[in-house]
Amino acid sequence: MLTTERLIVRPFLESDFKDLHEYLSLKETYRFGGEPMSLEEVKKLCMEKAGGTDFWAVTLKDESKKLIGHLSFIRSEPEHFLTREIGFIFNPAFQNNGYATEASRALIQYAFTKLGVHRIVGFCSTENIASWRVMEKCGMTREGLRRKNAFFRKDKDGQPVWLDSYEYAILTED
């Protein structure tokens, strides 16, 4: 468990499904890709991710302990490259308060000082200004543009709607 001035960043619990569903069920959450999830899908996700190290719950540090977002922190292959990929999704009701930056900085610091990670990467849609600003505030450097490298939706004819993304990274020595 990690703590910051306003947040607790901890492994997911199966009981987190209600707060997680609160924002993963919203179309607004998926402006840049993906589809809203049902309550059953979110329950299954919590069961799969509970106690693991690749999905971190972000809760308020106050008495409510409200889950307001989450970080993904996935080990990249090959393992000996000591690289992790960070990502974040926050409840729209709690966005624009610096929470994603605060939580991400804490996890990045932890990875470099306690996990022996060498490099952390992140990706986002070129149109997702808020996400690339969070990565820049965390000290990550934009390393490149990945052209039409991902899709989350298909058009009416069933063809992928390809998206461009930016790649960011930070090294332990940064």
Domain ranges of the chain: 2-171
Which helix (H) or strand (E) segment is 84 a member of? strand 83-90
- Whole-number percent of the chain with pLDDT over 90: 83
Q: What is the pLDDT of residue 34?
A: 83
Q: What are the CA-CA distances from residue 67 to residues 60, 167, 169 (Å)? A: 7, 27, 27
What is the rounded CA–CA span in Å between residue 97 and residue 88? Answer: 14
Give the pLDDT confidence score for residue 123 in this predicted structure. 95
Q: What is 2-171's CATH number?
A: 3.40.630.30
Average pLDDT over residues 8-31: 94
What does the alpha-carbon distance between residue 161 and residue 169 come to, in Å, rounded to a whole number? Answer: 26
Task: State the average pLDDT over residues 18-44.
Answer: 93
Q: How far is CA 123 from CA 126, 133, 142, in A?
A: 9, 12, 9
Distance CA 141, CA 113 (A): 19
pLDDT tens profile 97-149? 999 999 999 999 999 999 999 999 999 999 999 999 999 999 999 999 999 99
Helices and strands in the chain, H and E counts: 4, 8
CA 154, 46, 162 angle in degrees (round to 5)?
20
Mean pLDDT of 51-57: 89
Q: Which residue has the higher pLDDT, 64 or 170?
A: 170
Predicted pLDDT at 155:
87
H or E stretch at 9: strand 7-11
Confidence band, pLDDT 50/70/90 cuts, at residue 23: very high
Pairing of strands 83-90, 119-125: parallel
Burial grade of 132 (CB within 10 A; 0-12, 13-18, 19 or more): buried
User: What is the CB neighbour count within 10 angstroms for residue 98?
Assistant: 14
Provide mean pLDDT across the span 64-90.
93
Please determine, for residue 78, whether its predicted confidence score (pLDDT) is greater than 90: no
pLDDT of res. 17: 94
